[in-house]
Structure 1
Amino acid sequence: MIFVPTDLVSLLVLLMTMLLAWITTQHYLAPCKNFPPGPWGLPIIGSFMYFGSDIHTDMMKLSKKYGDVYSLKMGSHTATVVSGVKAIQECLVQKGNDFADRPDTWTIGLFNPRCEGIVRGHFDNKWQHRRQFAHATLRSFGFGKTCMESKICEEILFLLDEFRDIQNQPINAGNIINRSVSNIICSITFGKRFKYSDPNFIFIVDILGKCFESHGKVYVLDFLPFVRPFNQSNIKTFIATRKDVEKFCKQQIDEHREVFDPNHIGDFIDACLAERTKHNSKVDFTDDQLKFMLVDIFGAGTETVVTTLIWGLLFMVLHPEIQEIVYNELDQVVGANRLPRLNDRKHLPYTEATLLEIQRIGSILPFALPHRALRDTTLGGYNIPSGTAVTILLWSIHRDPNTWPDPDKFDPMRFYDEKNNTVKKSENFMPFLQ
């Protein structure tokens, strides 16, 4: 039996008490004067006791109490939550440069510790160059332009053939649509499309979906490190699926390098290889950078579009009366002998209004990508110190009952002017902010 002097025990108790008092004080201490208010959280776990399964709806409830700009204790971290049209516009538009940085997170550090690519990179000269180059190059291959229409129409024909081959059979339409949208991205990035039956293509498309799904299960570990030892299975799945996606993209880079011709730039990878050759080592275009850029493009270009299309199918099934109006308008303007084209858009106001309502009510991204204050600034009248993590609650834009009466109701008439047969625009509709 070991004898411990009473005075030593008292000293240990005192030290532990002082340590707990210091941790508690640091937890509740505001980062600066006039920092956004918010609910109190417990040491270590923060404000997570306020949240259920739908964090975005719980955050909206908190914004009703604390305002459009408020603070939250996310585990051991303090974050600023921004909701509502005016506050989000101030953050991402009016003061976009002030909040242009990305926070470091534990989950991203698992596979991308140097924050390479164009989505998670820090706001520095190298990142800005990569982002500007990626945007310019994608646009040169038709992304966001009318010349992209031919690629989309070509892929739609393959998609329709696929649906014809499996008529009168139960199907998972999401899988087929996923492959179709992914092929459009492949045509730009890799310069080719894949057959829907290609086992490698099926594998990578499915893995990409599982990668997003697994990330949704582990992102909370960014804020609750003490829970990580109990989530090893989800962590391993997340890492494995991410590595599979990266391996596929790296394989495409290697195949392009073997046949690379600087006089024939046929796709995004060729353009990156040409840029690296032109500037030699002066430009930050390593294979890892290119690999992460490709993963980012796939993530941004497939998951959001596929989810929107699946929501569209669901709402058409649930609302046959709306489906009939859309069908009749398409039949009158386009007919049955050709595909719709962008030039038809101005003659399809109800169809466009329906698409806008699908995006509004679907709100497929309840949160924008995480941001971080690049410098000391203000937001909503509050002081935001440099380095503060910022959570943008996009859900609040499209589900606010003060802006959209009965927001859970699917109603294309929100965007349709029946009297003038035109589309109604709304400054409160912003589905693509990031």
Structure 2
Amino acid sequence: MDLVGVAPLLLVSCIAFLLILIWRRQLSKGNLPPGPPPLPVLGNVLQLDLRNLVRSFWRVRDQYGPVFTIYLGSRPVVVLCGYEAIKEALIDNAEVFGGRGSTMALDEKRRNGHSIITTNGERWRQLRRFSLTTLRNFGMGKRSIEERIQEEAQFLVEAVRKTEGCPFDPTFYLSHAVSNVICSVVFGKRFDYDDKEFVTLLVLINKSIQIAFSFWSQLRLAFPSLMKIIPGPHHQRNEYLDELVRFVNRRIQMHRESHDPNCPQDLIDCFLTKMEQERQNPASEFHDDNLVVTVVNLFFAGTETVSTTLRYGLLLLLRYPEIEAKIQQEIDQVVGRNRSPCMEDRSRMPYTDAVVHEIQRFVDLIPLGVPHSVIRDTVFRGYTIPKGTSIFPMLTSALNDPQHFETPRKFNPGHFLDENGAFKKNEAFLPFSTGKRVCLGEGLARMELFLFMATLLQNFSLRTLKSPEEINILPQALSSGNLPRPYQLCMVPR
């Protein structure tokens, strides 16, 4: 064999040798929890079903216990299963487990790392504090936001009435309604249900969510550099997000032209005022990039999670009409037909409250949670987890924990009712996660779910196009999220 033929072989051998050295060095870091043996470069990708990560993680849990390590490519990820493990990490050790791991929420490089969801450290603290304060000032947890939801619920009722009891897909009616609530706080206005630009954006958000939960997104997390050059639908998500950013930029420009710092009308006005106040501070986190992505995050998260939960909830009530009937009986007794349901009613409507909670538990929208990371080397349950390691709090393992829910695989409102029919809390109810990174909009989402559901069932009875027993309530087969299967229903005025 001549030198020309030997050279490529030597090059490949050297590269392989270097990769193995790097891999062994990576494996030697820390004393990570046990898990399936990884392969160099590929990690555990060939041992996992990337089209259904949740099912794969359950199998690994059965073999290695409630805290285990898997490798997505060369990147180790520690997975927490069961309420006790999640509580110990995210609550008892909230500070050290309070970092944000890699996520498809937004492409961090394209957005320059500016985000409430994906950032860490001081930037995250300042933006989260500002957003929580501003949302509260504009009504989150106060009556003013309740009135906005009640008003939007009536717009939703009128839109549904126009279907005249005919079959329809509720997806975009619910997306419009829920999105308009956050729009009223962020943009200072709501949008008509037939606004073409707004309809287009909601379609893009819906498609983006499906990609984020897909097999392609898991490949991107495992092999970020490689997936940048491999064609696939994961690239389309960036296009969808770019369109959303352009929409937000147009709204921000409109606000700049009419901005009165003495009379803020919404979150954008408040952010612009904060930017002006900190104009001389070179280290300020209040600048254009953070404004755009903060608004995108709130608009995105404030639209899809609640509307998808409502859509799944209506499907569950179609499957169990006896539960719908009990809710409507409670609504008639407590609220009647002549006024809108309000949050004060919730304490007197334990069954409705229990059903809304059980919908969230059963839907299990984001079963793996949003990734965390440890902010420094830490010892957890006898294992050493190096700084920066991603943590997956497997929320589905808490929501389906048999030690906390009697029939976890069944839709059962009794999980949230005591023997006297009063509402009871359950500490393993973690649809919004927990700890320092608990969902920013938890209070708003809880209010929306109760008021929208109660208002719809006050005004309409649900009808299915098939017998209830034929309705499939299992989610679409997505890699890391649960969405209801497409369906149509009829809403008949009561």
TM (normalized to structure 1)?
Answer: 0.92
Match of 2:367 in 1: 366
CA distance in 2, matches of 1:99, 1:75: 22
Point out the more displaced range, 234-243 or 312-321: 234-243
1:166 maps to 2:163: yes
Alignment pair present for 1:421 and 2:418: no
Question: Are the counterparts in 1 of residues 19 and 41 from structure 2 also a CA contact under 8 Å?
Answer: no
Residue 91 (1) aligns with residue 89 (2): yes
Indicate conservation of the 8 Å contact 1:45/1:76, yes or no. yes
- Relative distance call for 1:406 and 1:15 in structure 2 (3 A) is same
2:188 maps to 1:198: no
Structure 2 CA distance, aligned partners of 1:288 and 1:166?
Answer: 42
Cα distance in 2 for partners of 1:103, 1:134 equals 21
- The question of whether the paired residues in 2 share the 8 Å contact of 1:69 and 1:379 is answered with no
Is 1:411 the counterpart of 2:412 in the alignment? Answer: yes
| Contact 2:108–2:118 under 8 Å retained in 1 | no
Q: CA deviation at 1:15?
A: 3.6
User: Which residue is 2:107 aligned to?
Assistant: 108
Amino acid at match of 1:78: P
**What does residue 51 of structure 1 align with?**
48
Richer in helix (by share): 1
CA contact (8 A) 2:102 2:221 kept: no
- Residue 384 of structure 1 corresponds to 385
Per the TM alignment, residue 24 of structure 1 is displaced from its structure 2 partner at its CA by 5.3
Segments of 4+ in structure 1 off by > 6 A?
Answer: 5-10
Q: 1:46 to 1:258 in 2, by over 3 A?
A: same
Rounded to whole Å, the distance in 2 between the matches of 1:9 and 1:304 is 52
Q: Is the 8 A contact 1:44 1:224 kept in 2?
A: no
Task: Determine if contact 1:72/1:80 at 8 Å carries over to the other structure.
Answer: yes
Which runs of structure 2 are paired with 1:156-235 in the superposition (5 Å)?
156-217=153-214, 218-220=216-218, 221-225=220-224, 228=227, 231-235=230-234
Q: What is the distance in 1 between the residues matched to 2:21 and 2:181?
A: 55
**2:357 alignment partner AA:** L
What are the superposed Cα offsets for residues 11-33 of structure 1, whole Å, 9 maximum, x if unpaired? 66864663464255346x2421x
Pair 1:9–1:346, CA change in 2 (3 A): closer
Q: Residue deviations 1:154-184, cap 9 Å, x none?
A: 0011000000111232211111000000000
* Deviation readout 1:283-325 (Å, 9 max, x if unpaired): 2222221010011112222211111111110110000111111
- Tell me, yes or no, if the aligned pair for 2:20 and 2:40 is still in contact at 8 Å: no
Distance 1:54 1:105 in 2: 17
Matching residue of 2:142: 145
Describe how 1:54-69 pairs up with structure 2 within 5 A.
Answer: 54-69=52-67
What SS does structure 2 have at the residue aligned with 1:179? helix
* SS, match of residue 91 in structure 2: helix
Bigger Cα displacement from structure 2, 45-54 vs 296-305: 45-54
Mark the runs of 5 or more structure 2 residues left unpaired by the alignment: 439-494
| Contact kept in structure 1, 2:187 and 2:251, CA below 8 Å | yes
Q: Contact 1:115–1:122 at 8 Å: present in 2 too? A: no
* Residues 337 and 386 of structure 1: CA distance in aligned 2, closer, same or farther (over 3 Å): same
Confirm whether residue 133 of structure 1 aligns to residue 136 of structure 2: no
In structure 2, C-alpha distance between the alignment counterparts of 1:158 and 1:76, rounded to whole Å: 50
**Counterparts in 2 of 1:302-381, with a 5 A limit?**
302-381=303-382
Change (3 A) 1:327 1:182: same
CA distance in 2, matches of 1:377, 1:17: 32
| Higher relative contact order, structure no. (Cα contacts within 8 Å, ≥ 6 residues apart) | 2
Cα offsets for 1:363-402 (capped at 9, x unmatched): 1111222111111112233211111111111111112334
Aligned residue for 2:140, secondary structure, equals coil
CA distance in 2, matches of 1:75, 1:219: 13
Contact 2:23–2:74 (CA<8 Å) still a contact in 1?
no
Name the structure 1 match of 2:477: none
What is aligned with 1:298? 299
How many Å apart are 1:41 and its aligned residue?
2.0
Give the superposition deviation at 1:3: 3.3
Deviation (angstroms), 1:403? 3.4
Partners of 1:10 and 1:421 in 2: CA distance: 74
Q: What is the alpha-carbon distance in structure 2 between the residues aligned to residue 207 and residue 9 of structure 1?
A: 47
Secondary structure of the corresponding residue to residue 423 of structure 1: coil
Relative to structure 1, the CA distance from residue 413 to residue 9 in structure 2 (aligned partners, 3 Å threshold; closer, same or farther) is closer
After TM superposition, the score normalised by the length of structure 2 is 0.81
Per-residue CA shift, 1:214-252, capped at 9, x if unaligned? 333442212124752674241331111010011111111
> Mean alpha-carbon deviation: is it higher for 162-171 or for 186-195?
162-171
1:278 matched to 2:277: yes
| Corresponding letter in the other structure for 1:368 | G
Tell me the equivalent position of 2:482: none
2:404–2:426 contact (8 Å) kept in structure 1:
no
Question: CA-atom RMSD, angstroms?
Answer: 2.3
My pick for the range that moved more, 202-211 or 218-227, is 218-227
User: How far apart, in 2, do the equivalents of 1:151 and 1:396 lie?
Assistant: 35
Output the amino acid matched with 1:259.
Answer: S
Aligned to 1:39: 36
Contact 1:87 1:380 in 2 (8 A): no
Q: How many Å apart are 1:7 and its aligned residue?
A: 8.2
Tell me which residue corresponds to 1:431.
Answer: 431
Q: Distance in 2 between matches of 1:48 and 1:10?
A: 27
Tell me how far apart the structure 1 counterparts of residues 223 and 8 of structure 2 sit (CA, whole Å): 31
Provide the rounded CA distance (Å) in 1 between the counterparts of 2:35 and 2:129.
37
Residues 254-265 of structure 1: matches in 2 within 5 Å?
A: 254-265=253-264
How far off its partner does 1:427 sit? 1.4
> Residues of 1 paired with 2:276 and 2:371: CA distance?
33
Change (3 A) 1:261 1:91: same
- How far is the alpha carbon of 1:102 from its aligned partner? 2.1
How has the CA–CA distance of structure 1 residues 404 and 299 changed in structure 2, closer, same or farther, with 3 Å as cutoff? Answer: same
After superposition, give the CA deviation of every residue in 1:66-114 in whole Å (9 maximum; x if it has no partner).
12221111111111111211111122112121122223568723522x2
3-state secondary structure, aligned to 1:232: coil
